[in-house]
Structure 1
Amino acid sequence: MKYLFKYVYKGHEKQVIHIDKDQENIVINEIQKFQDARYISPPMELWRVFSFPLLQIHPCVMALQKHLPNQQLVRFKDVDKMEDIVDREKEKNSMLMSFFEKNKVDSNARKHLYKEFPKHFTWNRSNHCWRTRKHKSMIGRLVYANPAEGERYYLRLLLCHITRPTCFEDIYTTNSVLHPTFRKAALDRGLIETNDSLSQCLVEASLFQFLNALRRLFAMMLIFCEPGNVRKLWADHYDSLSQDYRKKYGCPERVQNMVLIDIRVFVESMSKKLSDHDLLNVSAHIDLIKRLS
């Protein structure tokens, strides 16, 4: 697939020709004599003269944009004033926001997922709204999101399974429960795999791993394995993760914070932040004691 993509989009054919007289001991400066030329064969030229189609995508594919709440894409120039940018952009709806608005006023639109919208509606770029499609067809594809992107990835996951949302709150809500994050909403809907395999891995590792290595393993799971319920994984294995600190310190709060600080160090060593994951916060005074020690 990669080869076909590179072959199709490699561009026009090129060749460089340079002729020198026969001379001995001639030194050629290839940089100064380089010429960027384009070669067009007679068939290619005739194809263009008669305006024959050069390429075609069938069926047409529309990239559907998505964004987190209040994080719409705004385009502006360096010379634009902030007031003018705000006045110009506040009346424009993104594809996703127009999708919500369409579901509010059109009962037929509520039957379709966001990715199915281009089959039944057309996107009007000038008015920034969806209109009923009258002819032809088109396939919709949500813009890709990596699991490492966090909430943006889970928003994409939810949009692929939820119909009739009229606002972001409808996506946050599952079984009449308003969740604080898209991740928890996706977990409640069963769209994220459970932590059984990760939990079993930590159980086995706790039998022979040193405590510091066990906390490093937990941090690696946060970064690379994307556990569905981080709080539950933390609660189930907290005793194993904190065994050495519980023997050394009598204060439960200090023990918890010492474990979190160790995990934070491992997470930050992989260029990530502990605050990006659903874990408890580190107390400031405990953090200071840890740094001084």
Structure 2
Amino acid sequence: MKDGKCTKGFPKPLSEVIKGNVAGYPVYRRRRRAAGVVLINGKEYDNETVNKWVVPYNPYLSQKYNRHINVEVCTAITAVKYLYKYVYKGSDKAVITVEAIRGEGNQTQIEPNEILRFLNARYISPVEACMRLLDYSVQGKTHTITQLTIHLENEQMVTFRSSDDPAVVVTRDKHTMLTPFFELCASEAPENQVAKSTLYQDIPKLFRWDTKAKRWVRRKRYQAALGRMIHVSPRDMQRFYMRVLLCHRKDRRPLKIYER
């Protein structure tokens, strides 16, 4: 309860059909019952509006496990973000506090080092330790994700040290995943003809990236792989609309045409 109201939104509104509210959350069907009084656990309730207080449940699960199981429909994008974060957030953490040793009688108390008083440590529960020791799978992955770069012509991102030779730096990382993609589309080799009718984001399904040769190579056998183009802010207009074109256009026009 907060300010005299239930924080979970009870009582819920009555509704003859399932619908969504303005916030995108579902409003479940809660039919109005016949007028009268119903006795539940020794308490009297208005039978007409008693459905307002029913917590959402699944009849199949309740019958199978012989208990009440709270079931809700997750429709917000935040639910997907939470589930993804929950899987990859890492191990549990615990803060260990070092307490002072209390002396007896006239003995002085020994105070620990203040810096070492609080330790942020990793906590491994017995269940997790068992899963790790027995080498059980704690997560599953179905596809290999290839992150695809997006840049304008001759505007590749280059990393260097202040002591590097500028003449060497300008030639470094000249071939990204994007530039060989256009070369692949322009190739007349029989094994590369399929690239002319394939979107940039779908290239990793049919080709693999050779990191040493800096080029796309046709896969000899199927592999579960997907491509994901990096995010580009709409404020970066040229790169943003270039990304939009790459998502929809299946042609082999060079970068300079996309920039116009």
Q: Would you say same fold, with TM above 0.5?
A: yes
- Post-superposition shift, 1:29? 8.5
1:74 aligns with 2:151: no
1:39 aligns with 2:127: no
Q: Deviations over 1:180-199 (max 9, x none)?
A: x2xxxxxxxxxxxxxxxxxx
Contact preservation (8 Å) 1:118, 1:137: no
Cα distance in 2 between the residues matched to 1:33 and 1:129: 54
In the alignment, residue 47 of structure 1 is paired with which amino acid?
M
Cα distance in 2 between the residues matched to 1:87 and 1:147: 29
The DSSP-based 3-state class of the residue aligned with 1:97 is helix
Contact preservation (8 Å) 2:99, 2:117: no
Query: Residue in 1 aligned with 2:216?
Result: 130
Q: Deviations over 1:18-55 (max 9, x none)?
A: 344568xx999865511122222334334334544443
Query: Residue in 1 aligned with 2:141?
Result: 57
Cα distance in 1 between the residues matched to 2:134 and 2:160: 39
Cα distance in 1 between the residues matched to 2:209 and 2:99: 55
Once the two structures are superposed, the pairs formed by residues 211-290 of structure 1 within 5 Å of their partners are: none
1:9 aligns with 2:96: no
Cα distance in 1 between the residues matched to 2:208 and 2:118: 48
Distance 1:145 1:87, change over 3 A: closer
- Post-superposition shift, 1:75? 2.0
Contact preservation (8 Å) 2:142, 2:224: no
In the alignment, residue 99 of structure 1 is paired with which amino acid?
F
- Post-superposition shift, 1:82? 1.4
Cα distance in 2 between the residues matched to 1:100 and 1:76: 26
- Post-superposition shift, 1:9? 3.0
- Which residue of the other structure, out of 106, 114, 118, is the alignment partner of 2:204? 118
In the alignment, residue 5 of structure 1 is paired with which amino acid?
Y
1:104 aligns with 2:191: no
State the identity %.
34
Unaligned runs of 5+ in 1: 173-180, 182-293
The normalised TM-score by structure 1 is 0.51
Q: Deviations over 1:50-100 (max 9, x none)?
A: 5444433323322211101110111223332212323444xx411110100
- Post-superposition shift, 1:151? 0.8
In the alignment, residue 39 of structure 1 is paired with which amino acid?
Y
Distance 1:36 1:97, change over 3 A: same
- Post-superposition shift, 1:16? 2.5
- Post-superposition shift, 1:118? 1.2
Cα distance in 1 between the residues matched to 2:129 and 2:213: 39
The DSSP-based 3-state class of the residue aligned with 2:242 is helix
Cα distance in 2 between the residues matched to 1:129 and 1:22: 68
In the alignment, residue 74 of structure 1 is paired with which amino acid?
V
Cα distance in 2 between the residues matched to 1:102 and 1:125: 15
In the alignment, residue 241 of structure 2 is paired with which amino acid?
Y
The normalised TM-score by structure 2 is 0.56
- Which residue of the other structure, out of 60, 76, 94, is the alignment partner of 2:176? 94
Residues 27-36 or 58-67, more deviating = 27-36
Cα distance in 2 between the residues matched to 1:137 and 1:10: 25
Contact preservation (8 Å) 2:100, 2:112: no
The DSSP-based 3-state class of the residue aligned with 2:241 is helix
Distance 1:56 1:76, change over 3 A: farther
Unaligned runs of 5+ in 2: 1-79, 104-108
The DSSP-based 3-state class of the residue aligned with 2:179 is helix
RMSD (Å) for aligned C-alpha atoms: 2.8
Query: Residue in 2 aligned with 1:146?
Result: 233
In the alignment, residue 84 of structure 1 is paired with which amino acid?
V
Distance 1:166 1:128, change over 3 A: farther
